A and B are shown apart, each in its own frame.
Chain A
Amino acid sequence: MLEVRDVVAGYGNGTVLHGLSLSVQRGEIVGILGRNGMGKTSLIRAVAGLLRLREGTVRLDDIDLSRAPAHARAQHGIAVVPQGRGVFPDLTVDENLKLGRMAAGKRSRPGRLGEVLDYFPRLGERGSQAAGTLSGGEQQMLAIGRALMSEPQLLLLDEPSDGIMPVLVQQIAQNIVDINRNEGLTTVVVEQNVPMVRSMAGRCLLLEGGQVIAEGLLDALADSGRLEQHLGV
């Protein structure tokens, strides 16, 4: 479904992604692990269209999106929940969700809001509240809910546990699993929180120096000693 091939990208004169390749099958939850500065967020930005590719290709369902701008990738069904959540603080919860629905365009379905609120009932109680006044966990729910409103083909999550109370981390992980199970939504999760990844992802990729250096089930990576070697866990 998602094919990233030989991607080279970076900022200014620096290169962060050094010929990175990966593929994600429809309906999978894939975990991306790696230490800070190894290219995890840059990978998300490159797939989302915020980081220009110097070399390589990004294809979604055999459509080449390598040169497509971010807004066009959103219209093709790539939804992103960025690190820090990216909610619009001065917009209400309802307005944030409406933006997601606008991104869906023709894919938008009338009953979608109800489905999203079933996953995150708290958002329904906070509809007219400014997003900036929500707690970190609620903002994360809003960011995921907004992404779901766009009826995505592919959901990219960057550090969903970042800044969230530990008690809520597992709840959000369960939400992501439920969404994947109910809707078959292909999901890529960049995360350093290994227990959270273990509770969500099937296959995991280990990033080092802007390249994928290992791939497999999390327990297999742990057993081989590569997690300890590269993540220190």
Chain B
Amino acid sequence: MTQVISVALDAISTSLVLALVAMGLAVVFGLVRVINMGHGAMLALGAYITWTLAQHGLPFFVSVIVSALLVGVIGLLFEVVLIRHFYDKQFETLLITWAFYLVATQLIKVFWGTDLHSVANPIRGTFTIGGAVIGRYVAVVSLVSLLLFASAGWVMYRTSVGIRVRAMIQNREMAMMLGVRASAMYRAIFALGAMLAGLAGGLISPMFSVEPDMGTLWLVRSFFVVTVGGLGSLVGGTLIGSALMGGMTTLVSLVAQQVFAQTVVFALAVIALRFRPAGILGKKAA
């Protein structure tokens, strides 16, 4: 029984961390229809800035917030200088954001080198649920992830901003004719997506090695979460996608190595997308 609870807790925490990492990508893709291939680099930047600030004595959680804000500003500049000229051109934005990923990753190597770094766990220790042991920090990150999704759901379905955003997703021209400033909203959403990537990078930095290419695998995982969950379904789709991807990885890891488990899950995701291209909660394009 303890082992079942342990596996369940592991699956839940893995899924929520994955959801946290994928959230920035889901926001940008779901709301402004840009597949941000730079998401992984933004995540790595968040981790590196957090590491640097923590090294200089800033409290860990302050470092995470500052790094999230800085990555948000980088995202804002990226949108203002380049992305805003290419909305509605999905292939061009794919290439531009991929170029951002390559340039940012190389700049990380130039500024921080290629050595692995580790960030000290700010909340050490474990606690038990039903005999199963779980790390306190992992639990906190999972909780942060849940709170973020609950907040996103509240904003989207309970506020006037959410009504405007949902209107813009459904019919941008009509929303503009009702006074919605689409360009400002797109800019804010892109910066928010970058900030969420930076926040995720900072928060996972004590859990994984900080290295220049750390964004690659997270980008791929996030991409599968968003597409399997449902293109454009910000809250439900991302949570379902991460639960499936995270849960399955945990389960397959019980009988195989982590790398093999990841490969199997990616293969299953590709097969699932073959039969449901818009994802589980996604709608077919009109």
A79-B177 Cα distance, complex, nearest whole Å = 7
Return chain A residues, CB-CB under 8 Å to B180. Answer: 71, 99
Return chain A residues, CB-CB under 8 Å to B179. Answer: 71, 74-75, 102-103, 105, 150
B165-193 CB contacts (< 8 Å) to partner A: 166-167, 170-171, 173-182
B176 touches A50 (CB 8 A): yes
A146-B170 Cα distance, complex, nearest whole Å = 16
Contact with A along B23-41 (1 / 0, CB 8 A): 0000000000000000000
**Contact of B103 with A by CB under 8 A:** no
Return chain A residues, CB-CB under 8 Å to B175. Answer: 88, 99
B177 touches A90 (CB 8 A): no
B163 touches A70 (CB 8 A): no
Within 8 Å by CB of B178, from A49, A89, A100, lies A100
A159-198 CB contacts (< 8 Å) to partner B: none
Within 8 Å by CB of A86, from B160, B166, B171, lies B171
Within 8 Å by CB of B174, from A69, A73, A86, lies A86
Residue from B166, B167, B180 with most neighbouring chain A CB atoms (10 Å): B167
B177 touches A88 (CB 8 A): no
B171 touches A99 (CB 8 A): no
Return chain A residues, CB-CB under 8 Å to B174. Answer: 82, 86, 88
**Contact of B164 with A by CB under 8 A:** yes
Contact with B along A97-113 (1 / 0, CB 8 A): 01110110100000000
Within 8 Å by CB of A102, from B164, B166, B177, B182, lies B164
A95 touches B182 (CB 8 A): no
**Contact of A16 with B by CB under 8 A:** no
Within 8 Å by CB of B167, from A71, A74, A79, A88, lies A88
Within 8 Å by CB of B170, from A48, A69, A91, lies A91
A71 touches B170 (CB 8 A): no
Return chain A residues, CB-CB under 8 Å to B163. Answer: 91, 95, 98-99, 102
A70-B178 Cα distance, complex, nearest whole Å = 8
Inter-chain contact total with CB atoms closer than 8 Å: 68
Return chain A residues, CB-CB under 8 Å to B170. Answer: 88-91
B173 touches A70 (CB 8 A): yes
Within 8 Å by CB of B177, from A80, A89, A91, lies A80
Given A86-B171, A98-B160, A70 contacting B177 (CB threshold 8 A): yes
Nearest-Cβ distance from residue B36 to partner chain A, whole angstroms: 24
A91 touches B167 (CB 8 A): yes
Nearest-Cβ distance from residue A133 to partner chain B, whole angstroms: 14
Nearest-Cβ distance from residue B119 to partner chain A, whole angstroms: 41
A71 touches B176 (CB 8 A): yes
B176 touches A88 (CB 8 A): no
B132-189 CB contacts (< 8 Å) to partner A: 160, 163-164, 166-167, 170-171, 173-182
Return chain B residues, CB-CB under 8 Å to A100. Answer: 178
A150 touches B166 (CB 8 A): no
A99 touches B176 (CB 8 A): no
Return chain A residues, CB-CB under 8 Å to B160. Answer: 98, 102
A38-B195 Cα distance, complex, nearest whole Å = 48
In the complex, residue of chain B having the shortest beta-carbon distance to the beta carbon of A69: B176
In the complex, residue of chain B having the shortest beta-carbon distance to the beta carbon of A99: B178
B178 touches A150 (CB 8 A): yes
A71 touches B166 (CB 8 A): no
A95-B178 Cα distance, complex, nearest whole Å = 13
Return chain B residues, CB-CB under 8 Å to A48. Answer: 177
In the complex, residue of chain A having the shortest beta-carbon distance to the beta carbon of B157: A95
A89-B169 Cα distance, complex, nearest whole Å = 11
Contact with B along A134-152 (1 / 0, CB 8 A): 0000000000001000100
A86-B177 Cα distance, complex, nearest whole Å = 10
A90 touches B173 (CB 8 A): no
Within 8 Å by CB of B166, from A49, A75, A88, lies A88
Nearest-Cβ distance from residue A152 to partner chain B, whole angstroms: 11
In the complex, residue of chain A having the shortest beta-carbon distance to the beta carbon of B176: A70
A74 touches B173 (CB 8 A): no
Given A91-B166, A98-B160, A99-B164, A74 contacting B171 (CB threshold 8 A): no
Q: Which residues of A line the B interface, CB within 8 A?
A: 48-50, 69-71, 73-75, 79-80, 82, 86, 88-91, 95, 98-100, 102-103, 105, 146, 150
Q: Which residues of B line the A interface, CB within 8 A?
A: 160, 163-164, 166-167, 170-171, 173-182
Q: List 14 A-B contacts (CB under 8 A).
A: A49-B177, A50-B173, A71-B182, A75-B179, A82-B173, A95-B163, A95-B166, A95-B167, A98-B160, A99-B163, A99-B180, A102-B160, A102-B164, A103-B179
